[in-house]
Amino acid sequence: MPRISYVNGQYLRHDRAGVHIEDRGYQFSDAVYEVIATVSGRLVDETLHFDRLERSLTEIGMEMPFSRTHFKIKIAELLRLNRIANGALYIQVSRGVAKRDHKFPDGVRPAVVMTVRPMAPPARTLVEKGVAVITVPDIRWQRPDIKSVSLLPNILAKQQAVRQGVYEAWQVDADGMVTEGTSTNAWIVTGDRLVTHAPDHAILNGVTRLALLDMAAEEGLVLEERSFSADEARGADEAFLTSTTAFVMPIVKIDDAVIGDGKPGPRTRALLARYDGHLRGDA
């Protein structure tokens, strides 16, 4: 069965789908996106994802191309055509097609692209043993809170992690403070204190991050939304990262420093168990 994608109102074979050469997302990165996990055909945290999509569009001077209800109808058809129950849905909205010019064009319709692919949960060996991350300088623009398709600095940092044989790179600002990973949010645990960067302009306010905040309270953890240094992270009892596709991933090594006893810690494992239930739709 051929894979099907959605492009500007049409459902097309994925290998034949495309956008116009003067689409502003292609030429200027003048576009935003979302990635939503689907579990048993259910969009996980769909309200939070659509809230963030709408916010990103507002921040770049755009409106939603159509209503959330309309979006969900199109998404349901895309999932049906691809016969995918467990997968990753990608939504991209660009300002549209116009003659190449830096200023906003007038009278242009937004371009909407959606794809879906099967997605398995992270490998159990990674979750059970934990992963390593490195720290790298944060060279991104000053608005990573907007989920823009302009991801070149993230890609370069991710590739550095790949070359060093680790799972992720945590980005560190000029003051030595960890902001976030290349595609994940960063967390540390010391005692009963759970620390993660505040949702300001320095990070993307991850949907998995948001979902985990209530779970942390249920675990009796004291949440501190603040910056933490790379040195503080290397000396933490536990560390982990979160994202829509990585879920909750324990970290056992940061640079050359072993975290805790080198195994996923009890607080991280407890949060992971709660998030697994969240994915299943448990009350």
Question: What span, in angstroms and rounded, lies between the C-alpha atoms of 252 and 239?
Answer: 7
Q: Which of 129, 147, 158, 263 is catalytic?
A: 147
CA distances from 110 to 31, 48, 87, 166, 184 (A): 9, 22, 25, 38, 28
Question: What span, in angstroms and rounded, lies between the C-alpha atoms of 234 and 255?
Answer: 8
Specify whether 147 is catalytic: yes
Shortest CA distance to 138 belongs to which of 180, 196, 166?
180
Residues catalogued as catalytic: 147
